C-alpha cells in the first residue's frame, strides 16, 4: 500500500501530529515500507478463522467491587504533570 500526501495529511489530523514539509517524503516512504512488511502476513490463509483467535485461553480476570485508595498517588502524578493547579490538570484551552 502506497502512503500518499493525502493519506499522510489525514494521519497527521488523526494523531494530532505535524510532519515538517522537508520530512514528508521520507516519512511517506518509511510508512509505505512498514505496511509492505506487514503485508507479508497476507500470505497466511485465515479463511474460516475466528477474527478474535488468540493463543491465549480463558477470560479476563475480574475484581470484586471493593474500593481502594492511595491518597498520595494522585497528588504525585499531578506534581509530575506539565501543568497543574489546585489539583486540576491544566491544559491549553479547548475551543468548543
Partner 1 sequence: MFETVIGLEVHVQLNTKTKLFCSCPTSFAEHQNSNTCPTCLALPGALPVVNKEAAIKAMRFANAIEAQIDEASRFDRKSYFYPDSPSAYQITQFYAPILRDGKVTIDLADGTQKTIRVTEAHLEADAGKNMHEGAVSKVDLNRAGTPLLEIVSAPDMRSADEAVAYLKKLHATVRYLDISDANMQEGSFRCDVNISIRPKGQEAFGTRVEVKNINSFRFVAQAIAYEVQRQTEAYEDGVYEQEVVQETRLFDVNKGVTRSMRGKEEAADYRYFPEPDLRPLIVTEEMKAAARELPELPDQKVARYTSEWKIKRDDALVIVADKNLANYFETLVAEGAAPKQAVTWLTSELTGRLNKLSKSIEESPVEATTLATLIKRIEEGVISGKGGKELLDHMMENNERDVDALIEKLGLEQVSDDGAILAMIDEILADNEDKVAEYKAGKEKLFGFFVGQVMKASKGSANPGKVNQLLKERLS
Of residues 16, 47, 49, 55, which one binds partner 1 by CB under 8 A? 16
> What is the grid cell recorded at 58?
480463558
Angle between helices 5-15 and 24-38 (to 10 degrees): 90
Residue 10 CB, nearest distance to partner 1 (Å)?
8
Of residues 41, 44, 79, 93, which one binds partner 1 by CB under 8 A? 93
CB nearer partner 1, residue 17 or residue 22? 17
Residue closest to 9 by CA, chosen among 31, 24, 29, 30 = 24
Stretch that binds partner 1, among 19-27, 33-41, 55-63 (CB under 8 A): 55-63
Q: What is the dihedral of CA 75, 76, 82, 86, to 10 degrees?
A: 20
Q: What does the angle CA 89 – CA 95 – CA 96 come to, to the nearest 5 degrees?
A: 105
Interactions with partner 1, residue window 32-51 (CB under 8 A)? none
- Under rule CB under 8 A, residue 18 binds partner 1: no
- Under rule CB under 8 A, residue 87 binds partner 1: yes
Amino acid at each position: 500500500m502506497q502512503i500518499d500526501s493525502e493519506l499522510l495529511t489525514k494521519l497527521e489530523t488523526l494523531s494530532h501530529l505535524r510532519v515538517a514539509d522537508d520530512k514528508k517524503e521520507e516519512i511517506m516512504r518509511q510508512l509505505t515500507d512498514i505496511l509492505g512488511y506487514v503485508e507479508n502476513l497476507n500470505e497466511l490463509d485465515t479463511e474460516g478463522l475466528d477474527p478474535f483467535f488468540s493463543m491465549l485461553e480463558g477470560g479476563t480476570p475480574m475484581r470484586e467491587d471493593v474500593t481502594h485508595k492511595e491518597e498520595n498517588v494522585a497528588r504525585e502524578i499531578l506534581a509530575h504533570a506539565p501543568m497543574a493547579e489546585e489539583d486540576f490538570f491544566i491544559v491549553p484551552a479547548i475551543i468548543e
